[in-house]
Structure 1
Amino acid sequence: MSPITVRHNPDRNRFEVLDGDTVIGRAAYVDRDAESQRIFYHTVINDGFEGQGLAGRLAAQALDETVAAGLTIVPVCPYIKKYLQKHPGYSANVSRPNPATLEFLDAYLAGQARR
C-alpha cells in the first residue's frame, strides 16, 4: 500500500482519497454559488479499504476546506450527516437541505447524467 492522501479535485467537484495515484474514495459535492453553499451528496470508500478510518479523514478535510473557503456545508449525503452529528464543531457552518437546495441538486445531477 502506498501513502494514503486526501486531496480536493475541484475540476471533478469532489474530494478524493488516494492510495498512491489511485483514487480509492470520494466525497462528491456541488457548489451553489448564489447561496455560498457546498452541497455534499455522496461519499464512498472503495471495497477493500473500509474500516481504516478513511471516510472520516476524507470528511474532515472536505469539511475543513469548505469552511475555510467561506462556504456553508449542506449535508445531503448520509455519511456526511452522520459525521456532522458526531462533530458538532461544524454546526455554525451547516445549513439543512431545503426544497430549493434539493431542486438545485436534482437539476445538477440530471445535467451530469446527460453528459
Structure 2
Amino acid sequence: MSKTLTDSTGVEVTVTLDEDGRSYVIAVEGGAIAGHAYFLPGPEAETERIFYHTVVDEQFGGRGLSKVLVAEALADSRERGITVVPICPLFVKKLQQTGDDYQAEGGRFRNATGADFDIVKKQA
C-alpha cells in the first residue's frame, strides 16, 4: 500500500505500509520520512491491529501530517478487513469523532482491553 496525498499546505506526501516495521510511514517531498503510526498484531493476529503510537518529527509540525497518517492507516485497515484497536490517543480521538461513519463504510474497530495493553507493554 502506497498512496500519494497532500498535507494542509498543499504539498504532496506519501503514506506507505511498512509490514516489517509494523507501521504506516508518511514521507514528504524528496522522500524524507516525517512520521510513523505504529501497530502490533492484536489477539486475533491475522485480523486485528493495535495502534499504540503515532509520531511526526517536529520539523514537519503544523502541516497536518498526523491527521493524514491516521486517516490513511484507518482507510487501509478498512480495505484489508482489519479490526482497529486504538490505544494511541490520535486514533482514539479520530474514532470517537468519526467511528460511526468509519463503521458505515465497512471499517471495524473495538475498544482496547487490558490484554491489548499487555501486548503493547510486552512487545513495544
Deviation at 1:59, TM superposition (A): 0.7
Q: Could you tell me how far apart the structure 1 residues matched to 2:54 and 2:82 are?
A: 19
Deviation at 1:26, TM superposition (A): 0.8
Q: Could you tell me how far apart the structure 2 residues matched to 1:38 and 1:90 are?
A: 16
Q: Which residues of structure 2 form unaligned runs of 5+?
A: 1-10
Deviates more, 1:8-17 or 1:28-37: 28-37
Counterpart residue number, 1:9? 18
Counterpart residue number, 1:95? 110
Counterpart residue number, 1:26? 36
Q: Is the 8 A contact 2:43 2:116 kept in 1?
A: no
Deviates more, 1:100-109 or 1:70-79: 100-109
Q: Could you tell me how far apart the structure 1 residues matched to 2:92 and 2:44 are?
A: 23
1:107 equivalent to 2:116? Answer no
Deviation at 1:33, TM superposition (A): 5.9
1:73 equivalent to 2:89? Answer no
Deviates more, 1:20-29 or 1:90-99: 90-99
Q: Which has the higher helix share?
A: 1
Q: Could you tell me how far apart the structure 1 residues matched to 2:93 and 2:110 are?
A: 14
TM-score, normalisation: structure 1: 0.83
The C-alpha deviation readout for 1:59-115, integer Å capped at 9, x for no partner, is 111011111111111000011111212222224611101111111222222xxxxxx
Using the aligned pairs only, state the percent identity. Answer: 30
SS in 2 for 1:51: coil
Counterpart residue number, 1:63? 74
The C-alpha deviation readout for 1:24-72, integer Å capped at 9, x for no partner, is 1110001126352100000011112122111111111101111111111
Runs of 4+ in 1 over 4 A off after TM superposition: none
